[in-house]
Amino acid sequence: MNLSKFGEKFTNYSGILQLMDDLGDALSGRERMLMMGGGNPAQIPAVQARFKAMMQEILDSPGEFERMVGNYSNPQGDAAFLEALAGFFRRECGWDVSSKNIALTNGSQTAFFSLFNMFAGDFAAGPRRKILFPLAPEYIGYADVGLNNDFLIANKPEIEYIDAHTFKYHINFRTLTITDDIGAICISRPTNPTGNVLTEQEVTALADLARRHNIPLIIDNAYGTPFPNIIFINDVKPVWNETIILSMSLSKLGLPAARTGIVLAREAVITAVSRINAISGLAPGSIGAALVRRLVESGEIATLSNTHIRPFYRRRAEMAAEQLKAELDGYDFYIHKPEGAIFLWLWFKNMPITSQELYERLKARKALVVPSHYFFPGLQEEWRHKDECIRVTYCQDEAIVREGLHIIAEEVKKAYA
C-alpha cells in the first residue's frame, strides 16, 4: 500500500500493539497462556456482582436499556453521568466543578491521543512542542500517540535502594528543565508500570512548574483515588485544580470493555476534547456511563473501591513480591516498591540478556510479560537499566500468577547462569 505519513506512523509495529496482541491471545482461550504482562483488571466477584445488579436494574426500568444502546450521547458524553460525576467530585473531593468541567472519551487511551496532540506537535507560531515525562519509566501506551516524531521527552529518575530486594524511583528535580518547546507535563499516579505513587508535594511542585510556564499538568489517574483507589500507602489525596488535566477511567474498576475514559479539566479544555470527539467518533459510548451512574450518585463507587478493589490488589501484590523474593533470593534482582496499580516492576541488575530476550524465552514457555525498553518513551540517552526490567501483573487467577512467577524465576536464574 502507498500510505500517507499518518498511515505509515500508525500502522507500524509498536509496544502497545505487542501488549494488546499478547493480551488478546492469552484471554481468548485458543491456547493456554499465562498472562503475566497485560493491564486487564481482575474480575473481583463482589464488584462484578454489583455490575450485574446495575445491568438488571437497567433491564427492569422501562425504556432505559433502549436509551443506553439506541441513542447517541452528545460529544461531551452522557449528560446524566456527567452530572453524577460532578456531584461526586464536589462531595468526595471538595472540588469546585460542574458537568462543564468533565468530558467522556472512548477509553483513556483515546483521551491521551487527543490531549497530547492538542498540546504538543506543530504550532502556528513558535517551536514544535513536546510532552515532558518528569519521571521515567512511564506508560507504554504514550509512546506512539503523537502525530509527529520527536514528540516526547523524559527525565531520568533517581534510584533509592530501600532494602536487599526493593528500590524506588524519584523525580530528579535538579535535572528537570521546562524549556520553551514543552507543551505539557504528564505523569501517571500510581505510575504504570512501576506502581510508584508520587507524593502530594511532588505533584504540587510539578503543578507549580506548569503554572509558571503556562502549560497543563496532565495526570493519568487510571488506578488512582477516589476510584478505583488501587493505592497501598496511606493518606494519598486526590489532586485537581485548573492547571491540572485529570484523566480517569472505568477500566480498572473491572469494566475495560466498556471503554469509558473521563477527563476533568477547565472548561476550555473540555470544549476542545468534545469537539475532537465529534470529529473522530461522533460521541463516546454510553454503556459504561449507564452501568455505573447510580453507583456514582450514591457514592458506592468509592465504597467498592475501598472495600473490595484496593484490598484485593494489595493482597496480590504482597503475595507476588513474597514469592519472587523467596525464589530469587541470592540473585541481584529488585522489585520497585509496590505502592499502587496492578503490576510489579522487576529489575534484574546486570542481567546477561536483555529484557526483550527474556520476554522471548518466557513466551516460549507460555508466560507473557512486557519487556522494559518500551516504557522509556522520550528518554534518548543510553542506559543499560532500560533493558534490565520487566512488568508483570498479578490480576489473573492466583494459581496462574504463582505458576507464572515460578517460570519467570526459573528463566531469570538460567539467564544469570
Kindly report, residue by residue over 104-145, the tens digit of the pLDDT.
999 988 999 999 999 999 888 878 899 999 999 999 888 888
* 205 plus 112 within the same structural domain: yes
**Pair (18, 161) in one structural domain:** no
d(CA 228, CA 322): 24
Same domain, 168 and 207: yes
Domain end marker among 266, 299, 332: 299
Residue-wise pLDDT for 193-207, tens only, equals 999 999 999 999 999
* Coil, helix or strand at residue 285: coil
What CA–CA distance (Å, rounded) separates 269 from 281? 18
Choose one of 252, 284, 299: the last residue of a domain.
299
Average pLDDT score over residue span 355-380: 93
Condensed to tens digits (0 to 9), the pLDDT of residues 277-335 reads 998 888 998 999 999 999 999 999 999 999 999 999 999 999 999 999 999 999 999 99
Same domain assignment for residues 141 and 43: no
pLDDT bracket for residue 3 (50, 70, 90): low
The single-letter DSSP state of residue 332 is S
In the three-class reduction of DSSP (H, G, I as helix; E, B as strand; rest coil), residue 389 is classed as strand
297 three-class SS: helix
Beta strands 102-105; 34-35: pairing state: unpaired
Q: Which CATH number characterizes residue 187's domain? A: 3.40.640.10
Q: For residue range 62-92, list pLDDT tens digits in order.
A: 988 888 888 888 999 999 999 999 999 999 9
195 and 266 fall within a common domain: yes
pTM over 0.75: yes
Asked if residue 342 and residue 271 are part of one domain, the reply reads no
Residue 301: which H helix or E strand, with range? helix 300-304
Q: Return d(Cα 124, Cα 128) in angstroms, integer.
A: 9
Q: Are both 113 and 230 inside the same structural domain?
A: yes
> What is the residue range of 409's domain?
5-47+304-416
User: Helices then strands (H, E): number in the chain?
Assistant: 14, 15
Give CA–CA dist 346/243, Å, rounded.
34
Q: Are residues 265 and 231 in the same domain?
A: yes
How many domains is the chain partitioned into structurally? 2
pLDDT tens-digit readout, 149-206: 888 999 999 999 999 999 999 999 999 999 999 999 999 999 999 999 999 999 999 9
Shared-domain flag, residues 224 and 366: no
- Identify whether 64 is part of a domain: no
The CATH number for 328's domain is: 3.90.1150.10
Burial pattern 289-312, b for ≥16 Cβ within 10 A else e, equals bbbbbbbbbeeebbebbeebbbeb
Say if residue 271 is in the same domain as residue 412.
Answer: no
